[in-house]
Structure 1
């Protein structure tokens, strides 16, 4: 297998590339056009990411609920606490707004003050009918005041649904048709119809209106993702191009590099479209990620080409050596980086699996593009002039290189002490890390829709629907008085939990029925007694007949299943787990397991459970990444000892970052857990470069350790510094995101890679020097599979090739 990466193989590759320049460019152009045509297939996610596999028990429970009652996240809420709402003009305007909303074909129905129905008893036949609360199209001031009094004093059924009694906040619930709630039509409807309508209403009536509900939150959140993709790509291109130009001081080299990574970005978008993957918060970072990872490839290739030109001035020979010498090492580093992302494929989460596939494939693709495009373009261009090579003699970085060497030579004990102190502090910090399954935590905090979320949480005690599905195991078991009383006890139990809102269920409808039976007297808003049920329940059955179908929202068609909806505040995973842990024993006491089956579900709860599941899977994927890269290092250096010495300086930065998360209060969540696999796959590249060069120096210096470490360190420090700076600022671009998770991802990866650079430059050579007798010897590094040749070795190989030919 080692022959695959031999000098002869790469020399052949170089010949093929340079002899078939035009054909290769045509092929790249054709693939680019083909993938650009796939952009039309790109889809943006219209729901929250489902982090659980389809066959998971939590997902199956949620699907069972949807089968019984349909989509639960189809309510859009519009509210105001304006004290002048019940003046004649504004009251009429508020009702007209609801009528306008109800007229849209995308809306199933609305529930607002103007659309409210009162239950009214009729005797012949015995029945309840819904009659309008507001009977007039236009009301006068006296009528508006009377309706306010009746709503707040006489209709407790609508408390928490239409009004908040404590703050006089009034809301209109807009139920969007379930067939469009998770489609592109929802986005168009909300952005093009709802948002302009609300803004126009606010301007005309001088009323501050708050909008929320899961369809609205999902739509504006996904729109923020779309808006940020261009921001990330543009920011990554700008930052990396500026840094690249600062290093090379060449417009030509900068342009060639930017052209290469732009092609890579086009391929990444095309691949998303080709695979028909949704663009989510995760997949949205892949295009800028390709830029950040692709630029170091360009740095290595162009820097080597210019060094060769400076050494001997032969352009053809320089281009061949670029492919031969840099291609092999760059392939290895890109493979390790891709491996870090590819480990996500083993998770059963569709979201992470797609992210892993697209990221790993495109990382390898940008390597191929760099290896092909840069030498080919330079082959058509004149030889670089002396001004293009000036950066090779820079002295400003020599000070940094000298400091690294001095520290390794004279302060190894200090390096070990600092490493141990960092390790101990990190372990302390790791114990303070919390897991967060918050659905809203990562959403942009400075946007209007997030401030509206906070408004609804304050006024109505929550915005995220939590559903409790009650299976009575008997047809028509829900409307038995004994079941209703148990449900009322459960409602009282939930009301005592401050993180949850007032529950809504068939119990409220039955209580309202009793109130209606007693001519609307609010003191009778309670469950009927066993004597009353005989003459009230026939009226209740009328609610499931005709066009009203009031029971359908709370009870399934068989009467066996009931739902109880409660809205919860944006609590984290750990807090919700505590609530559940305390709640379930009490629930089972109310609903014995042998007679009832109780399920707690809902989109927000599924997301929280998915976060816990995902963290466990990502820890496994990180462990797999470490094992894969360890095997890769063993294959390259054929030594278990070298695995240990290469992993230590790469694992320490991960632990330091984890400790920082604990001290800074950054929780473990889907976005931040990615940091470790990404950073580990990238940081190990520096180790490969250093150890490969170290092996060359060992051979050149007759296996003298000290004489080999320092030259290897001097030569690799510059390239490590350049690529680490590019990666640091490249990933820092993600910190401009308005999404908390993406911002944390960018900052944590940048910090980890900076720690990794210092660890590989200080700790790795120190370990080699301190353990030279046991690890870094001729036997250990006798014949590595990774063949990165020195100039002397290369000349010998070239002479062999000439003789054979």
Structure 2
């Protein structure tokens, strides 16, 4: 392996690239066209992210629920909080809207005021007859008021489902067909049909309609993700190109870099299509990430080319040295960056696996593109002019580098004290970090659909379904009166939990049956007694299969029952308390030998996924550190050098974690990514610095101080350039409307700035302080990174010029 990445290998790479320029450009173009044909296979996600492994207990329980009752996230709700609803004209329009929606093939069931059914007892035969709540059009104000009074006073069955008695809010419920909930048909129906109908109603009546429900939220959330991809790519290109031009003051250098990263973005989209992965809130970040990570490659390569040309004025020699001297270090930096992402592959979450696979592949791809395209294009262009090289002598850059050198030479104690203080403060902040598993926390706060979520939380105690699956372990066990009473007591506990809504189950229907048996008197809305049960059940059997609203709350065998409640947007800590309280009550009401009761639902699965990710964060980050340590060991053959190189890169991570605690940024799926990403990228500076340090050691005859200061002066410029580009590049993510993406961009940006300062101040300080223990070791004098000496360099140049 040492020989592979040594002189002979990179000499061969330089010869291969510069001898076969046209053929290589043709291959790049052909592969780009091929990946372009894969764009048509890109798919956008239609479900929430499932962060748990497929065989995780929580997923198995959720799948068991789906096997019994099918997709549970198929409810869309519309709410109106306006006193003018119960006027003839408005009420008729509201009912007409419900009729129109109900006619669509995508709709399984619509429950609006017009769809409500009243139960009436009939004696011959003994049965309940279902009659419409609204019979025809409403023609007078008196009729409208009578309907309002009856709804709020006489129909407790619909309280919490259709109306809020305290605020007067009324809502409609639309259940989509379960087979289209996770398909493009759902999006087409909501965007093309449902939203225009609601807009029309609002325009005609002047009443605001609040719309929500998981299918609706998913659709608009996905649309926002799709729209932001273009903003991210465009923003990343604009910001990085402007900063690149500001540093280099060269249109052609900027243009070449942009061409390189644009091809990289095209490849990123192509790989997503080729692998058949969905575009999620995570994979949507990959194209702009490629821009942000690719530009530093361009900076190192172009900066080295211009420095070499300025030194000796030979274009071919400069291009050859770019490949042979920078290629190895740049390869290693990209491998370490890819490793930071690749650690997600080792998790059991398919979402993170896909993100890790595509990101790591494309990071290596952008390295390959940079190494091929930049030297080849420059080989066809005229040598750099004086104006292209002016940036190499910028006084303000020199001032920054000189300040770094002075600090390292004269203020090392200050650097160490500052490091210790930052470390202590960071540890205090780390202990204040909270965990969030909210399904909607990262959603855009300024959108109407997010505000509508909050409206339904306020009016109906939540919108995210939480399911209770009850297995009675015997056929027809659900309809046993003791079982119904247990369910009713559990429903009371759920209703009394502030974060949960009034649950819906077969219990509600049985209570309504008793009320109907007593001629609709609302005081009898309760479970029947043992004696009453024998009288009421013959009536109830007549409508149980026709009710439509609750027939999916008991399976066909009568063994399984389902209770659906809706939860507010609460954090993981509070949800764990709610869950514990419910399970404590369940353990009392439902003995394990007779019942098997589980809590499930998409929102709960997501929160459990957050906990799973947090538990795996240490493993993922540890793997990244291990992999990168192996690369360091391979490159420098010194265990102590591994420790010295890791310290400046772990410190920024601790500082960032501390900032999260002080700023109240919780640990959640989006911010968990910060640490592995930032670590993989920040180590790049370390590798570039140490690679330059090794070169200086050899050329200076192993004079430590001279090598450190020379490395600061030369590597410091490129490290500063790349860190600034990365800072502003990741800052582009802060234009997102998703809170998690904003946090990711801001935290990675801050981490990389700290990483640059750490690698320019702390790393050289450690090298100087520990020079006797590290740099004079024989194993460090024989690294895997091969530095060409002048004799070898001239031999390579002669071979290339002959060819």
Q: TM-score, normalised by structure 2?
A: 0.98
The 8 Å contact of residues 510 and 527 in structure 1, kept in 2 or not, is answered as yes
The CA distance in 2 between the partners of 1:646 and 1:320, in whole Å, is 29
1:46 aligns to what? 46
For residues 340 and 525 of structure 1, the distance between their equivalents in structure 2, rounded to whole angstroms, comes to: 60
| Offset, 1:320 | 1.8
**Residue 385 of structure 2 corresponds to which residue in structure 1?**
385
Structure 2 equivalent of residue 262 of structure 1:
262
Deviations 1:244-269 (A, max 9, x none): 00011111111111011000000000
Q: What is the SS of the residue equivalent to 2:772?
A: coil
Q: From the superposition, tell whether residues 280 and 524 of structure 1 become closer, same or farther in structure 2 (CA, over 3 Å).
A: same
Q: Is the Cα contact below 8 Å between 2:505 and 2:550 reproduced in 1? A: no
| CA offset digits 1:623-656 (Å, max 9, x no partner) | 1000110111011111111111110000000000
Q: Which residues in structure 2 correspond to 1:742-753 (within 5 Å)? A: 742-753=741-752
Task: Report the Cα distance in structure 1 between the residues aligned to 2:275 and 2:708, rounded to whole angstroms.
Answer: 47
User: Which residue in the other structure is 2:710 paired with?
Assistant: 711
Provide the C-alpha distance between the structure 2 equivalents of 1:37 and 1:561, rounded to a whole number of angstroms: 49
Query: How many pairs are equivalent?
Result: 803
Q: How far is the alpha carbon of 1:228 from its aligned partner? A: 0.4
Q: Structure 2 CA distance, aligned partners of 1:564 and 1:275?
A: 39
Mapped to 2, the partners of 1:615 and 1:794 lie a distance apart of 51
- Secondary structure at 1:396's aligned position in 2? helix
Give 1:396 deviation, angstroms. 1.6
The 5 A counterparts of 1:267-286 are: 267-286=267-286
State the distance in 1 between where 2:554 and 2:580 align: 27
Q: Give the structure 2 partner of residue 11 of structure 1.
A: 11
**Is the CA contact (8 Å cut-off) linking 2:689 and 2:715 kept in structure 1?**
yes
Structural RMSD (CA):
1.6
Contact 1:701–1:707 (CA<8 Å) still a contact in 2?
yes
Q: How far does residue 781 in structure 1 lie from its aligned partner after superposition?
A: 1.6
1:36 alignment counterpart: 36
CA distance in 1, matches of 2:305, 2:770: 36
Contact conserved, 1:543 with 1:550, CA < 8 A, in 2? no
* Alpha-carbon shift at residue 317 of structure 1 (Å): 2.3
> Which of 632-641 and 769-778 deviates more?
769-778
Deviations 1:706-730 (A, max 9, x none): 2221111111110110000000000
Deviations 1:325-345 (A, max 9, x none): 221111111111011111110
Distance 1:744 1:788 in 2: 41
Per the alignment, in what secondary structure is the counterpart of residue 702 of structure 1? coil
Q: Does 1:181 align with 2:171?
A: no
Q: Partner of 1:762 in structure 2?
A: 761
Q: Distance in 1 between matches of 2:707 and 2:386?
A: 32
SS in structure 2 of the partner of residue 163 of structure 1? coil
**Mapping of 1:146-545 within 5 angstroms?**
146-545=146-545
Q: Which moved more, 1:549-558 or 1:567-576?
A: 549-558
1:564 equivalent to 2:563? Answer: yes
Deviation at 1:544, TM superposition (A): 3.1
Mapped contact 2:11–2:796 kept (Cα < 8 A): no
Q: CA deviation at 1:768?
A: 1.1
After superposition, the C-alpha distances for 1:273-323 in whole angstroms (9 at most, x for unaligned) are 001100000000000000000001111111122222222322222222221
Q: Residues of 2 paired with 1:733 and 1:47: CA distance? A: 26
- Give me the whole-angstrom Cα distance separating, in 2, the residues matched to 1:735 and 1:377: 34
Q: Distance in 1 between matches of 2:491 and 2:795?
A: 81
2:682 match: 683
- Name the CA distance, whole Å, in 2 between partners of 1:793 and 1:498: 79
Return the alpha-carbon distance in structure 1 between the equivalents of residues 119 and 213 of structure 2: 27
Name the CA distance, whole Å, in 1 between partners of 2:652 and 2:81: 51
Structure-to-structure mapping, 1:46-65, within 5 angstroms: 46-65=46-65
Tell me the CA shift for residue 504 of structure 1: 1.2
1:94 aligns with 2:100: no
The residue that corresponds to 2:611 in the other structure is: 612
1:344 and 1:618 in contact (8 A); partners too: no
Equivalent-residue separation in structure 2 for 1:472 and 1:192 (angstroms)? 43
The answer on 1:795 being equivalent to 2:793 is: yes
- Structure 2: give runs of 5+ residues left out of the alignment: none
Deviation at 1:124, TM superposition (A): 1.9
Q: Aligned-pair distance for 1:551?
A: 4.8
3-state secondary structure, aligned to 1:168: coil
- Determine the C-alpha separation between the residues in 1 that align with 2:269 and 2:139: 56
TM-score when scaled to structure 1?
0.98
Name the SS of the counterpart of 2:648 in structure 1.
Answer: helix
Question: CA-to-partner distance for each residue in 1:130-170, whole Å, 9 max, x for gaps?
Answer: 21011113432111111101100000000011111010000
Question: 1:128 corresponds to which residue?
Answer: 128
Contact 1:308 1:318 in 2 (8 A): yes
SS, match of residue 600 in structure 1: strand
In 2, Cα distance between equivalents of 1:715 and 1:381:
26
**Matches of 1:110 and 1:243 in 2, distance apart?**
55
Q: Is the 8 A contact 1:7 1:797 kept in 2?
A: no
- 2:137: which partner in 1? 137
**What residue is the counterpart of 1:701 in the other structure?**
700
